[in-house]
Amino acid sequence: MKQYDLDITADRCPLTFVKTKLLIERMAPGDVARVRLKGAEPLENVPRSVREHGHEVLSLATADDDPAGEVHVLVLRKC
């Protein structure tokens, strides 16, 4: 199992999921990715789209290194 990291904090929808989807396409089943995202729209849309495409959201939490609480980390597994 391989782990990937993707930072989409500077991107806006729909580019946030486009970049996430491109990463998932490169991954093997069972691989895990940590995706850093920022903003209400990506926070709602990216996890939903990941699930709709048949993958698993393992966790979604505020980033430890962001005291303002604006950045979140989505951990997903390709199915």
Active site residues: 13
- DSSP annotation of 67: T
Two tokens, residue 8: 């989409």
Two tokens, residue 6: 């993707």
Contact 55, 48 (CB under 8 A): no
